[in-house]
Each structure stands twice: as structure tokens, then as C-alpha cells.
Amino acid sequence: MTNNFKNNLLSAISMKFYFRKYSRLTLRPSYFHLPLLIPSLIKNSPTSFRDFVRFLKVNQNSSSIISSNNDLPSISLLLIVAQKDFDKLKLCIDQIVKHSLNPIYKIEIVVPQTDLTSCMKILKQIELKIPIDLFNEDDIININLREKMKLELKHKYGWAIQQLLTLHMVSRSDSYGVLAINADTFILRDQVWLNEKFVQLLFQSPEYHEPYFKIIKKLFPKLNLVSYSHVTHHMLFQPELLRDFFAKNGYNNLEDFMIKVLECFDKSQESPFCIEFEPYAQALHNFYQDRIELRRFSNSNYSITKDSTGITELIEKLDNQNLYNSINFHSWNN
């Protein structure tokens, strides 16, 4: 047996390879695949079998477009963006507009004050008839809270402020639906995000990060948590439901809510909380089950460094192929 054949065999049965392959819309994971995965399951124990079962169950969800009569409500688009993803912003927006079966009637973009001028230059390159509003994040979150967050969160501040900004922008929105998306994520397939009965698309992800669920239980003790993740790089929010959910839990002020988060979060964790996507999705399961249709996440992750070379070509290759719903690129500041 050659070394190349051995390496190919090992990669073919690795959990990473399996999860990537069977995230495709054209394939479904199965318990019958377990024998091939035994070496990898043993190597990655004790959590690997639970990861496999979770992956299998969320990928039993349908991959079809959610039901509608084509009389769809308009939605808005929200992006909280930093300088590192400006090179992807135009393509991200283009892909959403192309594939949203809901009309998009406005786009809102929030950036740090220092990035306003750079972002304006990017937006001038976007040739759409949809109004685009650019916001300074310092005008949304008051300086006292921002300083407290910086003190408590240190290098995690940027990641946390993005979540709080999402909640602020959605909670004050008058849209029927707000599609919040990370700027390094690209939609590859047509979607109905919200139908005429205000039933929304909700993706479930096989990823599971326990600290998120621990703090959610502290912040929202009324929730019975579904043990599947919804941190899927994008989320359709219904502002009406988000406001109702926070009021149900006694949070009428998002600044007070963030203070509570800072009191509760586990400082030993590099990624200690998710306060926008996951709590909202859990609220949908608990209080608004008639307003959701679950679907496979079916996302492909790619990693890049320094620049976005090759992203456009890859998206053009995968676009409308019905292999994945979306593709995500992680970048690092070098």
C-alpha cells in the first residue's frame, strides 16, 4: 500500500472531510457510515460521537425553499462590517440581492468611525437601485458602555460589539424582516427568507459551543434550549418577535442587557457568548414555532489569509450549483 493511498484513505474517513462532504445539499449523512468513521471517532473522542449524531440530525432537515405563494414581504439587509472585510463587501451584497426571492428595499451598513471614509469608497462601486445607509457605530452605542465593554472584553471587544450592534439595529427596525449577514459570507442559492404568512427560514448548524448555551440559560431562564446551534453566519430576524422576546424576559433596554452579559460571561473562554443569533433562534423554538421552517445549513467553510484572492472565481464556480446554501471565508489580521 503506497503512502499516497494511505493518506487518501485516512483523509476519506476523517471527521473533517466527512462533515464537509456531507454538508452538501445533494448528500445526506447516515448511521450506516459509522464503520468508516470509527478510527476518527476514537481519535477525537469523547465528543466525536455526539458531534456526529448532531451533524446527522440537523442534516435531516429539508433543503427545499420554504413554502410561499410568491407574494413575499420586502426585507432589509444589515451588515456590521470592519476594515478587514471591506474587500468582500460588494460581492457579499451582490450575492444576497441576486438570490433573495424577497424584495430588498434597503441596505444598512454599520462600521467603526475610523472606517467610514474607506467604506464610502467601496459603496460607490455598488451599482444597485436599493438605498444604502451607512452608520457610525459610535452613534449607536453610547461611549460609557463602549468603554466598559473594552475594559471587560479586551481583544474580544470588536467581536462583541458586532453582536450588540446587530441587536440594536434589528430592535429599532420597522422592517418585516432584517437579514443580518457577516460580510465574509456569500449566498449561493435562491432563498425565501420570509413568506407571506411571516414564517421565516431558520437554519440549524451541527456546530455546538457549550459556553453559548450556559450564558443563554443565565440571561433567559425561561428558555428550554434546543441543543442545536443556529450560529450560521446569517440570520433573518423579525424585529417584532425580537422585541417581544426581550420584553418577555424583562429586557426593555439593550444597554442594561449588555451590562448583564458582562456580569455573566466566562472570562476564561475565548468565545464566551453569542447574544444575537442563538438567543433569537432559541426564542423562535420556544415561543414562535408557527413562524419558522427549519432547513439544513449546508455551508462550506474556507480559510484565507491577507487578501481575498480567488474568492470571486470560487463563488462563480459554486453559484447556483445547488451544492451549498452559502460559503464562508474566515480571515485573520496579519
CB 178 within 8 A of CB 30: no
Confidence at residue 238, expressed as pLDDT on a 0 to 100 scale: 98
Instruction: Note the pLDDT of residue 103.
Output: 97
Residue carrying C-alpha cell 439595529: 169
| Residue 332: half-sphere exposure toward Cβ, Cα within 13 Å | 5
CATH, domain range 75-330: 3.90.550
Indicate the pTM of the whole model: 0.92
Give the pLDDT of residue 305.
55
Exposure class string for 67-102: b at 16+ Cβ within 10 A, else e: ebeeebbebbbbbbbbebbbbbbbbbbbbbbebbeb
Mean pLDDT, to the nearest integer, of 69-93?
94
Q: Which position has the grid cell 462600521?
A: 111
pLDDT in tens, 6-64: 444 444 468 888 999 999 999 999 999 998 888 888 887 778 899 999 999 999 999 99
Q: For residues 194 and 191, give the distance between their C-alpha atoms in angstroms, rounded to a whole number.
A: 9
At 332, is the pLDDT very low, low, confident or very high (cuts 50, 70, 90)? very low
Q: Would you list the domain boundaries of the chain?
A: 3-58, 75-330
Average pLDDT over residues 103-115: 97
Residues 6+ apart with CB under 8 A from 256: none
Contact (Cβ atoms closer than 8 angstroms) between residue 149 and residue 262:
yes
Give percent above pLDDT 90 in the chain.
80
What percentage of the chain exceeds 70 in pLDDT?
93
Name the β-bridge partners of 186.
327
pLDDT tier for residue 169 given thresholds of 50, 70 and 90? very high
Amino acid letter, residue 186: F
Question: 249: which 3 cell numbers?
Answer: 424576559
What does the mean pLDDT of the chain come to?
91
C-beta separation of 86 from 109 below 8 A: no
Pairing outcome for strands 178-181 and 234-237: antiparallel
Give the per-residue pLDDT at 309: 63
DSSP annotation of 229 reads: B
